[in-house]
Structure 1
């Protein structure tokens, strides 16, 4: 009996990932004939009852067939049953398999027995079933074969020691023989999944001219019962809910990864309620990119400053120090993301003795160093903005007072953040201690909050200081747009700080999340702090080239030896001629105290003193 519904066989469909694959298909609006292959018929029937109870309404149908991957007779009978009932097979999901490494480790099986059993089940049995199913698959208009593999099977991942879970699997045990029986033994299982990847490539070669699409699908680290470890324990180790893998396999069946046929593909979904988690590679890539952009901005400022023969002042020193801080932080990030940290390892309650504690200690210390370097770099950007604002609002009494308050706040908050960095865990050795558990201090929430709140407070002070640029006289629409752009940049810094803090708390202070968003905040701060000065310098140079240089006391177009400070800092369409007049030879600028206001002329802002009437 044939049906218009797509016919899908899921081996091992009564439990774990197989059950979730069947459920994902059963929930789909696309109708399927879902065949659950299981060693024991009664367990398949129980799985069907559970699915129907959980999903009362479905466009799909469910049935069960006995599939014993260790028995050729069982496999032949299963294919005969499918042929007689459905006449074809649209998708074969080779999910059935197992691991006997724990049995080898516990002495329940000899090494040869365990390896042979694992290969027979995971590779040989799967190959036999696939061979028997090919005639039915070729009767389909859209045949598909999926081999469920593992991320632990790829040869490149065996060199990965940056991700905590892979670090546990890939770290070498201590020297000597015999090796200690600790951790999760997966030697036989991993080797069979590597063999399964090659089997997939062979079937892709054999059937590609027949129009059969073949994949090896890695569903991710899932909280299934594989290996004898409970699902709750696996979740504490960072495993995803099995439903994530089931939905990914359903997407492959429905054609969403057709462009990757013939390849091993990996689920990219993240932990449930944890959709922003990043891996160390992403954190490193973002760190490199943001650091490169930040250094380009700062170096551009230095080059422009030297080109314009500006004097070496405090802002120049802050720029050079910022470059050094950013480079130092990138180096520290590179190593601690590779070595791992105690904070990441403690999220795994089954900590393996295979962890290199010296590398963990080094990584944890480098995290502290990176946090100090980040704080210094961020605060240097604040200092650059303070210098900029203090110059263009000089003489405005309340702005001067706010500026002094801001400088005091910068010094006090910097000391507070640095002290929190090193003193949140006391003694400091708790930062790299694994046993006994050092507690919540290694997550550095106090340091994060102090740094975030201080950032926001100082950014608000900077916005208040800049307020005179808008309020002291009426302006044109284009001028208001330029001025409010300045405020928008300052507000954006506050938004980025809030996003960073919220995400880090949401991710349980994941170090990769902290590193990635710290890099983003660093770049944004560099841009906001330096863009006005770079833009102003380029604008002044452009106006000079256009001939706008005549000033009182100057012959028109006569070259200047060095730009004035106000000229360097002017950027909101300020009139450089008036700024230059204050420093031109033969021009005296003698303000008469004690009354101070700010004069705006041709959009130039400069302080002047007038006698009270």
Structure 2
């Protein structure tokens, strides 16, 4: 893909994989909007990348707030008139480790789905008109191998014992939404895929004072960036980790 003058937006981008995704897209020449719920944090993060000479802007976007989403869409339309790349990176994991599968509260399920599923869907629906104005729109939904029903049902799978129920099921829903949306967009210039970033050393994987991630953050952003920059002959409706196709 020719990245000259491309406009991208990354949600949940003030730190971790989202921040690194912004960096890597900008290093590829993409004008990237760094989105965060808190204006001060978004501006601070954007300024760090601007200081490195990268084409990055801050934008306020809370994926759980309809008014915030609408304001962000209006802001992008006013500034740029279109959107070429949307990376739905924002997500939370709040399961109680000692509650098991059936013991998680309904509040945990609802809060998790509000961000990881309904927020993602709301943001995507809101930005679709601007993505349709692109000559080659790209949507990347950040999921997880923990959302793979196939792998969870296989006792020999590397994730078989990682039952983080609300988080896992929310990512399964993201995968299912991606397949549905890819079908709708199959005859358009927009491609939508879902990705597994890997087991990354982020705050989400810092548990009880122990860092349980395996990959460095730059590696965790690589799959999102690769799918964001695919050419016209790239995939639509797939689930990827780097070049590997993952099972649903």
Query: Same fold by TM (over 0.5)?
Result: yes
Structure 2 distance, partners of 1:37, 1:247, is 19
SS in structure 1 at match of 2:159: helix
What's 1:39 paired with?
37
C-alpha displacement of 1:84: 0.2
Structure 2 distance, partners of 1:71, 1:104, is 30
1:444-486 deviation line (CA, Å, top 9, x unaligned): xxxxxxxxxxxxxxxxxxxxxxxxxxxxxxxxxxxxxxxxxxx
Structure 2 distance, partners of 1:82, 1:26, is 17
User: More displaced, 148-157 or 41-50?
Assistant: 41-50
What's 1:213 paired with?
191
Structure 1 residue ranges without an equivalent (≥5): 170-184, 270-613
What's 2:216 paired with?
241
Task: Please show how residues 333-412 of structure 1 align to structure 2 within 5 Å.
Answer: none
User: Does the 8 Å contact 1:245/1:267 carry over to 2?
Assistant: no
Structure 1 distance, partners of 2:216, 2:223, is 12
What's 2:125 paired with?
131
User: Does the 8 Å contact 2:142/2:197 carry over to 1?
Assistant: yes
SS in structure 2 at match of 1:221: coil
Task: Please show how residues 214-613 of structure 1 align to structure 2 within 5 Å.
Answer: 214-226=192-204, 229=207, 233-235=211-213, 239-255=214-230, 258-267=233-242
Greater share of residues in strand: 2
What's 1:82 paired with?
76
SS in structure 2 at match of 1:145: strand
Structure 2 distance, partners of 1:122, 1:115, is 10
Greater share of residues in helix: 1
What's 1:10 paired with?
10
1:166 aligns with 2:159: yes
SS in structure 2 at match of 1:259: coil
Structure 2 distance, partners of 1:89, 1:221, is 29
Structure 2 distance, partners of 1:230, 1:250, is 31
1:190-245 deviation line (CA, Å, top 9, x unaligned): 0000000111111111122222111011112111112553896224xxx2112112
Structure 1 distance, partners of 2:19, 2:179, is 26
What's 1:152 paired with?
146
User: Does the 8 Å contact 2:11/2:35 carry over to 1?
Assistant: yes
Structure 1 distance, partners of 2:98, 2:33, is 33
Structure 2 distance, partners of 1:217, 1:232, is 25
C-alpha displacement of 1:98: 0.6
What's 1:496 paired with?
none
Structure 2 distance, partners of 1:199, 1:254, is 21
Give the alignment partner of residue 58 of structure 2, picking from 61, 64, 69.
Answer: 64
If the length of structure 2 is used for normalisation, what is the TM-score?
0.88
What's 1:337 paired with?
none
1:549-593 deviation line (CA, Å, top 9, x unaligned): xxxxxxxxxxxxxxxxxxxxxxxxxxxxxxxxxxxxxxxxxxxxx
Alpha-carbon distance change, 44 to 226 in structure 1, aligned in 2, over 3 angstroms:
same
Give the alignment partner of residue 142 of structure 1, picking from 112, 133, 136.
Answer: 136
What's 1:188 paired with?
166
C-alpha displacement of 1:168: 3.5
Question: Who wins on radius of gyration, i.e. which is larger?
Answer: 1
Alpha-carbon distance change, 104 to 135 in structure 1, aligned in 2, over 3 angstroms:
farther
1:341-366 deviation line (CA, Å, top 9, x unaligned): xxxxxxxxxxxxxxxxxxxxxxxxxx
C-alpha displacement of 1:52: 3.7
Alpha-carbon distance change, 247 to 217 in structure 1, aligned in 2, over 3 angstroms:
same
What's 1:24 paired with?
24
Structure 1 distance, partners of 2:174, 2:92, is 13
C-alpha displacement of 1:249: 1.7
SS in structure 1 at match of 2:212: helix
1:122 aligns with 2:122: no
User: Does the 8 Å contact 1:98/1:227 carry over to 2?
Assistant: no
Structure 2 distance, partners of 1:122, 1:202, is 17
Alpha-carbon distance change, 262 to 117 in structure 1, aligned in 2, over 3 angstroms:
same
1:97 aligns with 2:75: no
Structure 1 distance, partners of 2:133, 2:142, is 23
Structure 1 distance, partners of 2:241, 2:209, is 21
User: Does the 8 Å contact 1:225/1:231 carry over to 2?
Assistant: no
SS in structure 2 at match of 1:9: strand
User: Does the 8 Å contact 1:213/1:258 carry over to 2?
Assistant: no
Identify the structure with bigger relative contact order (alpha carbons < 8 Å, sequence gap 6+): 2
Structure 2 distance, partners of 1:240, 1:160, is 24
If the length of structure 1 is used for normalisation, what is the TM-score?
0.37
